[in-house]
Amino acid sequence: MQTVEWFKEHKAEREAQLAKCKSNPGELAATPNCVNASRADSSSTWSARGGAIKVAPLSAPSSAAPAKTEGNNK
């Protein structure tokens, strides 16, 4: 059995394993090598497309007053 990391590093073997899995999904789809090859492929595809959704960090306006906390109503 190969790991997800191994399949990420071995593209040709990953593609061959995925082709084998797709040729007989009823018997092979849930096997460890098919699952790991599929996860590696998804991860590699995601990374090639930018890897993550980029979101600007949240920040409070500099003039914001501190929030009142319960019990501190003075």
Listed in sequence order, the residues at least 6 apart from 6 whose beta carbon sits closer than 8 Å to its beta carbon are 36, 40
pTM greater than 0.85: no
Please tell me the total count of domains within the chain. 1
Average confidence (pLDDT) over 45-62: 58
Mean pLDDT along residues 28-41 = 94
Residue 16 located in a structural domain: yes
In a domain, 61, yes or no: no
Asked whether residue 14 carries a pLDDT value surpassing 60, the answer given is yes
Report the C-alpha gap between 68 and 48 in whole angstroms. Answer: 46
Q: Is residue 15 domain-resident?
A: yes
Residues 32/17, Cβ–Cβ less than 8 Å: no
Is residue 71 one of the residues assigned to a domain?
Answer: no
Residue 8 lies in a domain: yes
Q: Which residue range is the domain that position 15 belongs to?
A: 4-48
